[in-house]
C-alpha cells in the first residue's frame, strides 16, 4: 500500500489510489497466504487481479511484486506451466490495454504506451521465471542430497547390523554347539564316569566364558560406536583354540599351512577365522565324522581356506538358525572373495573359500 502510494505521486497521468485500488491490492495480496497449498489457483488469481488493477488505470509499481511472489511459489512447487501461462496472459493483457483498449479505459485522455516499455516488461517476466527455476533446481538438488545422505546412513546402519548379527551368530553358534555336545557327554557319564563328566563341565565353563567375552566385545561396539574395541578381533592366530575346543567335543582337527603365514589384514584375518569356526561348528553339529582337516594357503594375492570332513551327515536336528553358510558367504563377498560349500562325491563335506588380498596387504 505504501509503495503504491509513492508510485502514484510519481505518475500523475494515472488514476489516483482510491478505495477500489486499495481493495484490488489487498485482493491480490491475501491469496499469497495460500500460495504453498494451492499454488496454481493463487498464481492465476493474482494475475487476474493485477490485470484488473492495470485496466482500471492505477499506477504501475509494487503491484508487480504480487505476481512475482505467486509465480515463484508456483515454479518452486513444480508448476512451471501455470506460472508461465499466468505471466504470458498478464503480459498479453497489458499489451491489449496499452495499445488498443486504452481508448475506452481510464484514465481519460490517455494515449498509447510506448513500445519501448514492453521490452522491460518481457525481461521482468523472464527474470521471474528464471530466478524461480534456479531456486527450484537448487532446492531439488539439496533435497536429493539429503535423501542420498539419509540412504547412505541407512545402508551403513544396515551393514553394521548385518555385521553384528554375523559376529553374534558365529560366536554363539560355535560356543553353544560345544556346550551342547559337552552337556550331553556330562549327562551320559554323570553316574558311570564322574571324572569325565567333570571334564565336560569344565569345557562348558570355558566355552561359555569365552562366548560371554566375545559377545561383550560386540555389544561394547554398539554402546560406543566411535571407540576402538577393548580387545583385538579374533584371527587365525587363535586357530589352536578352535582345535582345542573341537577336541573337547571329540572332534580331531588337523591343520596344514602352506605359504608365509604372517601379516594378514584385520578384515581378512577375522573373516578367515570366522569361516573356519563356522565350518568346524557345522562338522560338530551335522556330521557323523570325528575328524576334520583344515588347509590354509597363503598365496601371492589370495588366502585359500579349505575345511573337509569325511561325513556322513547325521540327518538329525541340531538346532540353530541355519544362517551359518549364508554368513560365511557374506563375509567372503564383503572382501570380494568366493566360497563354495557342499557335499563331496566320497560322502564328506567341504567348505572352500578364497579371500583376495589387496596388493598393499598381501603377506
End-to-end CA distance of the chain: 80
pLDDT at residue 100 tops 70: yes
Q: Is there a single domain that holds both residue 82 and residue 187?
A: no
122 within a domain of the structure (yes/no): no
pLDDT at residue 358 tops 60: yes
Q: Please check whether residue 47 is in contact with residue 89, taking contact to mean a CB–CB distance below 8 angstroms.
A: yes
Q: Is there a single domain that holds both residue 93 and residue 235?
A: no
Q: Is there a single domain that holds both residue 89 and residue 190?
A: no
pLDDT tens digits, 180-208? 777 777 777 777 778 877 777 887 777 77
* Residue-wise DSSP of 136-173: HHHHHHHHHHHHHHHHHHHHHHHHHHHHHHHHHHHHHH
User: What pLDDT is stored for residue 227 in this prediction?
Assistant: 54
Q: Please check whether residue 254 is in contact with residue 280, taking contact to mean a CB–CB distance below 8 angstroms.
A: no
Which range is least confidently modeled, 50-64, 96-110, 288-302?
Answer: 96-110
pLDDT at residue 62 tops 60: yes
For residue 107, whether the previous peptide bond is cis, meaning omega lies within 30 degrees of 0, is yes
E strands, the chain, where? 252-258, 291-298, 302-309, 338-343, 349-356
Q: Is 223 in a helix, a strand, or coil?
A: helix
* Residue-wise DSSP of 298-327: E-SSEEEEEEEE---B--S---S-S-HHHH
pLDDT at residue 363 tops 50: no
Domains: count for the chain = 2
Q: Which residue has the higher pLDDT, 272 or 300?
A: 272
Q: Is there a single domain that holds both residue 201 and residue 322?
A: yes
Q: Is there a single domain that holds both residue 230 and residue 308?
A: yes
CB atoms closer than 10 angstroms to residue 249: 23
Binning pLDDT at 50, 70 and 90, where does residue 359 land? very low
Task: Write down which residue in 113, 133, 162 finishes a domain.
Answer: 113
pLDDT at residue 140 tops 70: yes
What single DSSP character describes residue 273? H
Q: Is there a single domain that holds both residue 177 and residue 313?
A: yes
Residues contacting 288, CB < 8 A, separation 6+: 311, 312, 313, 314
Q: How far apart are CA 160 and CA 234, in angstroms?
A: 18
User: What is the CATH classification number for the domain harbouring 291?
Assistant: 3.30.565.10
Q: How far apart are CA 286 and CA 315, in angstroms?
A: 7
Q: Please check whether residue 16 is in contact with residue 50, taking contact to mean a CB–CB distance below 8 angstroms.
A: no
Strands 252-258 and 291-298 turn out to be parallel
Q: Which residue has the higher pLDDT, 149 or 204?
A: 149
141 within a domain of the structure (yes/no): no
Q: Is there a single domain that holds both residue 232 and residue 295?
A: yes
128 within a domain of the structure (yes/no): no
Binning pLDDT at 50, 70 and 90, where does residue 319 land? very low
pLDDT tens digits, 243-283? 888 887 788 999 999 887 667 888 888 889 889 988 888 88
pLDDT at residue 87 tops 50: yes
Q: How far apart are CA 26 and CA 203, in angstroms?
A: 87
Q: Please check whether residue 329 is in contact with residue 350, taking contact to mean a CB–CB distance below 8 angstroms.
A: no
User: What pLDDT is stored for residue 318 in this prediction?
Assistant: 45
b/e sequence 49-78, b meaning 16+ C-beta within 10 Å: bbbebbbbbbbbbbbbebbbbbbbbbbbbe
Q: Average pLDDT for residues 295-303, to the nearest whole number?
A: 87
Grid cell digits, residue 225: 560406536
Q: Is there a single domain that holds both residue 104 and residue 154?
A: no
Q: Is there a single domain that holds both residue 285 and residue 354?
A: yes
Q: Is there a single domain that holds both residue 83 and residue 183?
A: no
Q: How far apart are CA 111 and CA 103, in angstroms?
A: 7
6 within a domain of the structure (yes/no): yes
Phi and psi based region of residue 5 (left: phi greater than 0; alpha: psi -120 to 50; beta: remaining): alpha
77 within a domain of the structure (yes/no): yes
Q: Average pLDDT for residues 284-299, to the nearest whole number?
A: 86
Q: Is there a single domain that holds both residue 237 and residue 289?
A: yes
Q: Please check whether residue 288 is in contact with residue 313, taking contact to mean a CB–CB distance below 8 angstroms.
A: yes
Binning pLDDT at 50, 70 and 90, where does residue 104 land? confident
User: What pLDDT is stored for residue 360 in this prediction?
Assistant: 42
120 within a domain of the structure (yes/no): no
Domain encompassing residue 312? 150-361
Q: Is there a single domain that holds both residue 321 and residue 247?
A: yes
Grid cell digits, residue 52: 484488473
User: What pLDDT is stored for residue 230 in this prediction?
Assistant: 53
143 within a domain of the structure (yes/no): no
Grid cell digits, residue 330: 557374506
Average model confidence (pLDDT) across the chain = 83
Q: Which residue has the cell 556330521?
A: 287
Q: Average pLDDT for residues 286-297, to the nearest whole number?
A: 87
338 within a domain of the structure (yes/no): yes
Q: Average pLDDT for residues 27-35, to the nearest whole number?
A: 94
Cα radius of gyration (the chain): 40
User: What pLDDT is stored for residue 25 in this prediction?
Assistant: 93
pLDDT tens digits, 168-180? 777 677 677 777 7
Grid cell digits, residue 283: 562338522
Amino acid at each position: 500500500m505504501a509503495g503504491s502510494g509513492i508510485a502514484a505521486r510519481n505518475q500523475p497521468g494515472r488514476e489516483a489510489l482510491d478505495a477500489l485500488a486499495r481493495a484490488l491490492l489487498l485482493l491480490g495480496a491475501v491469496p499469497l497466504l495460500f500460495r504453498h497449498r494451492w499454488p496454481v489457483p493463487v498464481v492465476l488469481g493474482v494475475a487476474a487481479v493485477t490485470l484488473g488493477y492495470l485496466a482500471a488505470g492505477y499506477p504501475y509499481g509494487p503491484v508487480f511484486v504480487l505476481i512475482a511472489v505467486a509465480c515463484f511459489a508456483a515454479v518452486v512447487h513444480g508448476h512451471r506451466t501455470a506460472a508461465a501461462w499466468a505471466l504470458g496472459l498478464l503480459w498479453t493483457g497489458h499489451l491489449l490495454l496499452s495499445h488498443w483498449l486504452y481508448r475506452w479505459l481510464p484514465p481519460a485522455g490517455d494515449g498509447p504506451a510506448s513500445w519501448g516499455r514492453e521490452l522491460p516488461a518481457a525481461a521482468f517476466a523472464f527474470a521471474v521465471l528464471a530466478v524461480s527455476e534456479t531456486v527450484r533446481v537448487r532446492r531439488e538438488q539439496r533435497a536429493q542430497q539429503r535423501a542420498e545422505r539419509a540412504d547412505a546412513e541407512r545402508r551403513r546402519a544396515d551393514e553394521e547390523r548385518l555385521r553384528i548379527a554375523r559376529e553374534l551368530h558365529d560366536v554363539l553358534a560355535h560356543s553353544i554347539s560345544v556346550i551342547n555336545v559337552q552337556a550331553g557327554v556330562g549327562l551320559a557319564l554323570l553316574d558311570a564316569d564322574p571324572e569325565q563328566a567333570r571334564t565336560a563341565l569344565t569345557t562348558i565353563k570355558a566355552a561359555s566364558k569365552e562366548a560371554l567375552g566375545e559377545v561383550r566385545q560386540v555389544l561394547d561396539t554398539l554402546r560406543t560406536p566411535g571407540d576402538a574395541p577393548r580387545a583385538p578381533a579374533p584371527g587365525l592366530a587363535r586357530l589352536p583354540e578352535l582345535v582345542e575346543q573341537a577336541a573337547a567335543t571329540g572332534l580331531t582337527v588337523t591343520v596344514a599351512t602352506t605359504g608365509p603365514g604372517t601379516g594378514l589384514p584385520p578384515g581378512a584375518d577375522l573373516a578367515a577365522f570366522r569361516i573356519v569356526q563356522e565350518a568346524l561348528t557345522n562338522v560338530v553339529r551335522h556330521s557323523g565324522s570325528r575328524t576334520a582337516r583344515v588347509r590354509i594357503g597363503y598365496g601371492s594375492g589370495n588366502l585359500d581356506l579349505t575345511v573337509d570332513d569325511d561325513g556322513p551327515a547325521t540327518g538329525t536336528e541340531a538346532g540353530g538358525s541355519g544362517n551359518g553358510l549364508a554368513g560365511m558367504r557374506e563375509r567372503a563377498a564383503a572382501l570380494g572373495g568366493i566360497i563354495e560349500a557342499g557335499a563331496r562325491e566320497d560322502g564328506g563335506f567341504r567348505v572352500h573359500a578364497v579371500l583376495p588380498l589387496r596388493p598393499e596387504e598381501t603377506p
